[in-house]
Amino acid sequence: MSSWLQRQRKQALIDLSHEAGLRQDEDARKDEIVEALEKHLQQNATRLSRNPTFEPYYGTRRTPYKPRSSSTMVGVTSEDGEVKSVVKGRGRRSTAVKQEFGDDTGASSPAGPSTSALIRSEPTTTTLTKRTPGRPRRDAQLPPSPADIANLAEYETTQLYAGLNDFYSVSGIPETLDRVRESCSSVTGVQMAFQLLEATGLQRATLPWIYLADLKLGRGLSGPIVPIYYPDLFRLLTAEFWLPTLLYATTSIFVPSLFAYFFNLTMREVRRHGARVSVARYTVDPLTFNVVKALLTYMVYGQLLGANIVGLENVATVRHAMFGGHQGVLVGCYVCILASVYEAAQRKT
């Protein structure tokens, strides 16, 4: 695990996650946030390594470059005939050595080089340089070996996966999937899913689709034929559409919402600016909403309570339009009640 991420504060880690395109739960522990962020950074290294914000993270994971030695072995032959190894720096010039010799009496003359200094011009050193023999070139006409083909295939596969990963990250699909998942992972998301399922069943019964024409795909007589249908919008002007729709809206939306607004069990007292005020997590309590909806569904569509007032035909239309009848609506209410209780229990822990 990266030490740079461990040194960051929790709020800084959440900000870094937003910068990287990763949604984090603020109630999660710091270790979980660090682990999720590091996994996301490793999977999107190609894209995020160019972001200056994450340069400290990727900079610590680069392998340091080891420079090649710039010295070469040089063999020097001394006057005694021995060969001594001397390290000679690359690109440095050899320095000429001047030796002064005295006169025949052995005393050096102060007159300078014009009288007694002799510069030896004979070479006294022999440079022996070791060179590594180069690898012999492969003949261009020879076919590539199986190892070369395998390496090329592996390289191309890696490049393909890297390109697909970059395209997947830039396309915005991960962010969209995260938002959809976040919306569905709540009591509101579960409630809206069942409401949409019930509305779809009611639409099939009150606003039927009429055959328009056939669409022929392909050429020739053997091509597939696809029938085209369209909704009968003229039913919007009739009572056969509005009476069942208003009955369902009253028993499944309006009356449960009214009770859930006043009997809101999500109200709690909080302190703001020194005063205690009541704040509701949900404007309409989902638990109360589904309890009232289940009772109305059982009494109106199961026991036919008030069928003479709203019309027996309208009650039958709504009951037969639902998937599974009114029992299907009750099952949806039970699931939403369990989701509400589970969410409340999670917030208490």
Percentage, residues of the chain above pLDDT 90: 29
Per DSSP, helices labelled H in the chain are: 3-6, 10-20, 30-43, 45-48, 55-59, 146-170, 173-184, 187-206, 239-249, 255-262, 286-297, 307-310, 312-321, 325-348
pLDDT at residue 62 is higher than 70 = no
- Indicate the average pLDDT of the chain: 77
* Residue 199: partners with Cβ closer than 8 Å, 6 or more residues away: none
β-partners of residue 225 are: 216
Q: What is the pLDDT of residue 270?
A: 78
pLDDT tens string 25-40? 777 888 888 888 888 8
Q: What is the pLDDT of residue 96?
A: 42
pLDDT at residue 294 is higher than 90 = yes
Q: What is the pLDDT of residue 118?
A: 39
β-partners of residue 278 are: 269
What's the residue count for the chain? Answer: 349
Average pLDDT over residues 300-305: 91
With cut-offs at 50, 70 and 90, classify the pLDDT of residue 189.
Answer: very high
pTM of the shown model: 0.52
Measured CA to CA, the distance from residue 187 to residue 255 in angstroms comes to 19
Average pLDDT over residues 36-45: 85
